[in-house]
A and B are shown apart, each in its own frame.
Chain A
Amino acid sequence: MPVHSKQGRKHTKDPVETVIPAPCPLSPSLDETLQEISLRIGTSSDVIIRRFTNESLSSLSLAFIYIDGLVNADTVNQTVIQPLMEHVTLKSDAITADKAYALIKDQMLPIGGVQEGKTVEHMLSLLFEGYTLILFNGLTMALAADTSGYEKRSVNEPTSQGVIRGPKEGFTESLRVGTSMLRRRLKTSDLRIEEYKIGQRTGTGVALVYLQGIASEAVLAEIRRRLDGIITDSILESNYIEEFIQDGGLTPFPTIQNTERPDAVAGGLLEGQVGIIIDGTPFALLAPSTFFNFFQSSEDYYQRYDISSFLRLIRYGAFFVSMLLPALYIAVTTFHQEMLPTTLLISLAAQREGVPLPALAEALLMELTFDVLREAGVRMPRTIGPAISIVGALVLGQAAVSAGLVSAAMVIVVSFTAISNFVIPSLAIANSIRLIRFLLMLIAATLGLFGIMSFLMVLLIHLAGLYSFGVPYLSPVAPMIPRYLKDIFIRVPLWNMPMRPKTSLGKETRRQGPDQKPQSIEDQKKKAQLSGQQKKPQGEDQA
């Protein structure tokens, strides 16, 4: 409901109201400005307002405002309050507000970030970022000195995306730390960082990061359009942004990657992706992302290409196992027993003889039990964590089999499924197939392999119709673009990938020079001989 303030301005109580109120200019009266600010932010105990008056003439009247906890108290005292309090000129009778403003702005603040503002909204936004405001009586302008300094978590190893070989540092919750980590890795003038403030109540800083010339302009324009279109009161984590801007609203599959690793973001930027870093979370976003991006790990590029290729194939295999294994077990044991070798069939039948539940109920029971254990493992205090694995492995595994509730084969199937799920490097896609697995189990119990294939067809057609910021989700496999397949199912040696292996790119598609294959001394000699032989006849001709 609209509320009118003293000045007759119209601003709204509901922060998600799309009508943006007109900005309120600073009043020439310091009292009125302070009153307006107090009206806006209330009487919060952490808001410090301090007035400074030239008593001899009372023509100069200033006020400092800052928020305790968001500023570094030493910085405020040493770079703002102390110089102003001690400066002789400010105490003189002849000083006017205009002169004092110019003097403070140009000479008295020994600090890098000083901003000017003319509206209450602008000054408040700076205040909430840790600036100290300096308001002047008789002026409609104010100064803001960057005195921000709040407690931050130090840089640690990423918890969700660890590697054996490679950088061990992850993003922190600070946006500036995140952008600095990228600057350290990409020392190029092409690195661009565009900042947004999203969330009318949280005013969360969001940085759009990309490499000029490598990122596609069309993709950038689309991401900017979607970010500009977000009207919400809060952004507390990167998933908020992800859900607002991702393609295919109802899909279980992620179309934007998230990562804690600055090297992964840097790698993505070098391949034409666009990074989105959000203040308050260590998880950055990368877009556009295709289905196959979720199976690539930073470590793939930090170890030899042959082992990386092998591990990538293992991941694809694990993806299918994680999604299909329980459903296949149900379908085969319920509908297609003839597929099994006789000895295995007899063994399975013997195991299931004492089990009272049908295969579907057995699988659902075990899968749900595992999901309960997994969720408990996340929430449990770390000291009790190991106890959970003992309970899970011994009590619910061994004991359930001994009690005749489930067959041993089912325990193996569920365990292998769970382990396979953790092989997938992206938690986002691993989570999406957790849900699909349950659906597949129900279908397998109803329609057997035919049902599974029918569901896979639905899934395939759904994936084929998905896009991530205009890039087909299944590219470069469908539609097939053979030259981009060098880093999809396997990773070829880096020297064999002179072009950036992405479908959406700007103008700079080449990333390394030709003939980067390492050459032995023998090869070099042969090459020199060959080039000598080729040059000789030319020389003779010229002679």
Chain B
Amino acid sequence: MNGKIDTAQAAMLVINTILPTATVVLPVIISNYAEQDAPLSILLSTVAGLIVAAIVGTAIRVSNGAPFLTWVGERSSPIVATVLGLFMLQFYLDTTATILREFVNFIKDNVLLNTPVTVLVILILLITIYMVRQGIESIARVNSIVILLYGFFAPLFLFGIIHEMNVHHLLPMFDHSLASLTLASITPTTWMSEVAVLLFLAPYLKDPQKARIAGWVGLLFVAVLMLFSLVTALMVFGPEFIKLSAYPGFSAAGVVHFGRFFEKLDILFISYWVLSIYLKFSIFLFVTIECFKQTFRVSSSRPFIGALGLVIALECLFNWQNIDKLNLYNKEGRFLTFFLFNVLVPLAAIMLHRIQRARAKRRECET
């Protein structure tokens, strides 16, 4: 069922790999450091993200879309590939579990207040397992439909909120030091670095040489949509309220109204967000399974999807049940792990390729 996806579909996958949790988690963290200058930190993190996308795209180009760990194993040794695979598997299991937790927390806080978390986790997991079993081609197709719906929801949001916006809330601009802006852009950078999922999607790309373009285009769209979400929330509430609100983007959606008849449409936007977070979770589950498949060199991953899903569910339920711990990880711990696996690992792969190529050239010259 796993067919190939084209560059446009890959770019759209990048958008929903980053955006759904970024819109929920990031505004509070960024606003705490940068307040009304929050949009600048998004721009800074986008630049960093584009560099990560370039590194990841180059790694895919030098491996010509081969399965990443298999390629590493061929270039170094199978032991190195297996050890690296185990670490990356742990990283992706953790990341997927945190995504599931953020999803469940949001639903629990905003939509289904009385439903037990375990029920939500099992339900979401079952649906996502079904999605992953349908293959990345189907996920990419649904993802493109969901992305197209931005064309409906974004103008609806804007027209419904435009009379509540106050541009003075964005002033004074450039009021924060570079240090504050850098601190504010660290966490969004970790989100932008999630473009590294392309490493594991590479075998399914029709044209792996264009992975870098897919990453860049996806990240630019993410930046635009993040800016749209953050700037509208800032203009409606101002920087002080955003710091206090758990989900400022959706609080802004709650203000949307058309005349006196259509009011409190936040549930409409939440419903749309649910579609996109399902896609994010399914992309990460797919990547986790792909990582497992490459690490343990299994030909078919289908029997293991349920088992890995169970591990993720258990980690989500028992490891991340404390929301403060999750927030602390997002704020402080996340950057290190993401920098290690999303930046240093592909960078090391490129270095390995370059060194080997240089050696081969030297040998050619000698002979």
B365: CB under 8 A from chain A?
Answer: no
Are A449 and B9 in touch, CB under 8 angstroms? no
Are A339 and B145 in touch, CB under 8 angstroms? no
B367: CB under 8 A from chain A?
Answer: no
A465: CB under 8 A from chain B?
Answer: yes
Are A449 and B271 in touch, CB under 8 angstroms? yes
Are B141 and A478 in touch, CB under 8 angstroms? yes
Chain B residue at smallest Cβ distance from A475? B141
- A-facing residues in B113-161 (Cβ within 8 Å): 115, 123-124, 127, 130-131, 134-135, 137-139, 141-142, 144-145
In the assembled complex, which residues on chain A have CB atoms less than 8 Å from the CB atom of B141? 464, 472, 474, 478-479
Q: A448-B111, A453-B274, A464-B134 are in contact. Are A458 and B145 (CB under 8 A)?
A: no
Are B262 and A336 in touch, CB under 8 angstroms? no
- Interface digits, A327-354 against B, CB 8 Å rule (1 contact, 0 not)? 0000000011011010000000000000
In the assembled complex, which residues on chain A have CB atoms less than 8 Å from the CB atom of B271? 449-450, 452-453
Are A478 and B142 in touch, CB under 8 angstroms? yes
Are B111 and A461 in touch, CB under 8 angstroms? no
In the assembled complex, which residues on chain A have CB atoms less than 8 Å from the CB atom of B137? 464-465
Q: Roughly how many angstroms separate A453 CA and B146 CA in the complex, as a whole number?
A: 12
Q: Roughly how many angstroms separate A479 CA and B206 CA in the complex, as a whole number?
A: 13
A49: CB under 8 A from chain B?
Answer: no
Are A465 and B274 in touch, CB under 8 angstroms? no
Are B1 and A450 in touch, CB under 8 angstroms? no
B246: CB under 8 A from chain A?
Answer: no
Q: Contacting A447 at CB < 8 Å: which of B112, B261, B262?
A: B112
Are B267 and A341 in touch, CB under 8 angstroms? no
A202: CB under 8 A from chain B?
Answer: no
Are B261 and A341 in touch, CB under 8 angstroms? yes
Interface size class of A (residues with CB under 8 A): 20 to 34
Q: Contacting B145 at CB < 8 Å: which of A336, A452, A454, A478?
A: A478
In the assembled complex, the CB of A167 is this many whole angstroms from the nearest CB of chain B, namely 36
Are B267 and A456 in touch, CB under 8 angstroms? no
A462: CB under 8 A from chain B?
Answer: yes
B175: CB under 8 A from chain A?
Answer: no
- Consensus secondary structure, chain A interface: helix
A41: CB under 8 A from chain B?
Answer: no
Q: Roughly how many angstroms separate A452 CA and B139 CA in the complex, as a whole number?
A: 19
- Interface digits, B256-268 against A, CB 8 Å rule (1 contact, 0 not)? 0000111111011
Are A453 and B127 in touch, CB under 8 angstroms? no
Q: Contacting B1 at CB < 8 Å: which of A447, A448, A465, A480?
A: A465
B278: CB under 8 A from chain A?
Answer: yes
Q: Roughly how many angstroms separate A456 CA and B276 CA in the complex, as a whole number?
A: 12
B86: CB under 8 A from chain A?
Answer: no
In the assembled complex, the CB of B44 is this many whole angstroms from the nearest CB of chain A, namely 33
Q: Roughly how many angstroms separate A336 CA and B266 CA in the complex, as a whole number?
A: 10
Q: Contacting B142 at CB < 8 Å: which of A341, A453, A454, A457?
A: A457
B227: CB under 8 A from chain A?
Answer: no
- B-facing residues in A436-458 (Cβ within 8 Å): 447-450, 452-454, 456-458
B107: CB under 8 A from chain A?
Answer: yes
B275: CB under 8 A from chain A?
Answer: yes
Are A457 and B127 in touch, CB under 8 angstroms? yes
In the assembled complex, which residues on chain B have CB atoms less than 8 Å from the CB atom of A480? 8, 144
In the assembled complex, which residues on chain A have CB atoms less than 8 Å from the CB atom of B275? 453, 456-457
Q: Roughly how many angstroms separate A437 CA and B275 CA in the complex, as a whole number?
A: 19
Chain A residue at smallest Cβ distance from B124? A454
Are A450 and B274 in touch, CB under 8 angstroms? yes
Q: Contacting A477 at CB < 8 Å: which of B127, B135, B145, B267?
A: B145
- B-facing residues in A292-348 (Cβ within 8 Å): 335-336, 338-339, 341
- Interface digits, A411-454 against B, CB 8 Å rule (1 contact, 0 not)? 00000000000000000000000000000000000011110111
Q: Roughly how many angstroms separate A108 CA and B9 CA in the complex, as a whole number?
A: 70
Q: A453-B271, A465-B135 are in contact. Are A460 and B263 (CB under 8 A)?
A: no
Chain B residue at smallest Cβ distance from A341? B261
In the assembled complex, the CB of B205 is this many whole angstroms from the nearest CB of chain A, namely 14
In the assembled complex, which residues on chain A have CB atoms less than 8 Å from the CB atom of B263? 341
Q: Roughly how many angstroms separate A93 CA and B70 CA in the complex, as a whole number?
A: 90
Q: Contacting A450 at CB < 8 Å: which of B107, B139, B261?
A: B107
Are A460 and B142 in touch, CB under 8 angstroms? yes
Q: A457-B278, A458-B130, A465-B138 are in contact. Are A450 and B145 (CB under 8 A)?
A: no
Chain B residue at smallest Cβ distance from A447? B112
Q: Roughly how many angstroms separate A449 CA and B264 CA in the complex, as a whole number?
A: 14
Q: Given A461-B139, A474-B141, 16 other A-B contacts at CB below 8 A?
A: A338-B264, A339-B264, A339-B268, A449-B111, A450-B112, A452-B271, A454-B124, A456-B275, A457-B127, A457-B131, A457-B278, A460-B145, A464-B145, A465-B134, A477-B145, A479-B141
- Which 6 A-B residue pairings sit nearest by Cβ, starting from the closest? A478-B141, A464-B141, A464-B138, A465-B138, A453-B274, A465-B134
B contacts, CB < 8 Å to A: 1, 6, 8-9, 107, 111-112, 115, 123-124, 127, 130-131, 134-135, 137-139, 141-142, 144-145, 260-265, 267-268, 270-271, 274-275, 278
